Amino acid sequence: MFQSFDCYSQNPETDSIEVSRISTNFFDWYISSAKNHKTDEYNPVEIESKNGMTTLDFSKYFENLRRLSFSDLLLKKERKSYNECIRKLSQVKYTDYLKLTDLDQFENLNDDFTNYYRWTGGQEMFDIYSVRKVKIENKNAIVIGSLYFDNTGVEKIDFIREITTTFIKQNGEWKIRDIKY
């Protein structure tokens, strides 16, 4: 299922297996959560702040990302990507926020992140993830995977998107540094 090349690590086979496992666990969780409509598992949640305005709660989302081996660097980058949304939400009373229904209203607040899949791209969730290649170099690793839609009832399973997960060693453990599609 995976291929290892250009290995310079102390234990390239073990490292290849570990980063493949982490990558597969993450995408299996993400796909399953989306398919089961558990949006609050893979997105921050809008809540009422202490002053009655709107803000985002990252606790469950980040708990999942930490459990699924996201690096501190990627968590910081992910949190920062919501700054504009948080700034705009802080100007909206939570009771008024609850009345919003139009996508344009959410887009104007930069609060339309539930309208697309952050880690795989697009508005439709894929069905299957598989690892194709693994590259280990010192304290870095790259896992190249494929995302598929399962059209077995209609035709064969079709490849749709290549996705690259990069890893770094953090405190001696492999952690996801970035995901690109």
CATH architecture of 4-180: Roll (3.10)
Confidence at residue 31, expressed as pLDDT on a 0 to 100 scale: 98
CA-nearest of 32, 26, 114, 31 to 71 is 26
- Tell me the C-alpha distance between 102 and 52, whole Å: 22
Confidence at residue 123, expressed as pLDDT on a 0 to 100 scale: 93
- The tokens for 79 are 């949190």
- Tell me the C-alpha distance between 32 and 112, whole Å: 21
pTM score over 0.95:
no
Mean pLDDT of the chain: 92
CA-nearest of 106, 138, 141, 125 to 21 is 141
The per-residue pLDDT for range 126-160, each reduced to its tens digit, is 999 999 999 998 889 999 999 999 876 656 666 68
- The tokens for 81 are 């990507």
Confidence at residue 150, expressed as pLDDT on a 0 to 100 scale: 83
Looking at the DSSP bridge assignments, the partners of residue 81 are none
Residues in the chain: 181
Q: Where are the domains of the chain?
A: 4-180
Confidence at residue 63, expressed as pLDDT on a 0 to 100 scale: 98
